[in-house]
Amino acid sequence: MKYKELQDLALEEAMKDLARIESSFEGNEIAKKILINAVDKKLSNIIDTAQSFLIELNNDIKLLNQSISQLAEKGQLFIENHLAHFHVAELSLDDKQLIEQQPKLIKH
């Protein structure tokens, strides 16, 4: 459920609760005050919980991005280390000529 939907649902429920309190306790201001405070706390807790979830989710995404960056860096280092073991050997003039002649030899 999306954060906005959760807020809207909590607000709708709070409005229904407040309407019930008003209609059920018309003459009892003390009871209305107590119940209205309870509804207010309930709504506040729902919003705080959703906000905490979003903060935690944001922290998890940051950690995930850091992990991906570390994997990419380690992968690049791994490749660079393996490529460092390859050496280019110099070819003699005879080797160069032999390589240049190979396509001619294959075609014939």
pLDDT digits (tens, 9 = 90+) for 65-90: 999 999 999 999 999 888 887 766 67
What are the tokens at 72? 């990419």
Contact (CB, 8 A) for 21 and 39: yes
Cα 64 → chain centroid? 7
pTM above 0.85? no
Which residues are within 8 A (CB) of 36 and not within 5 positions of it... i.e. 6 or more apart?
Answer: 18, 21
- Please say if the pLDDT value at position 1 is more than 60: no
pLDDT digits (tens, 9 = 90+) for 89-99: 677 877 777 77
pLDDT digits (tens, 9 = 90+) for 29-65: 999 999 999 999 998 998 888 889 889 999 999 999 9
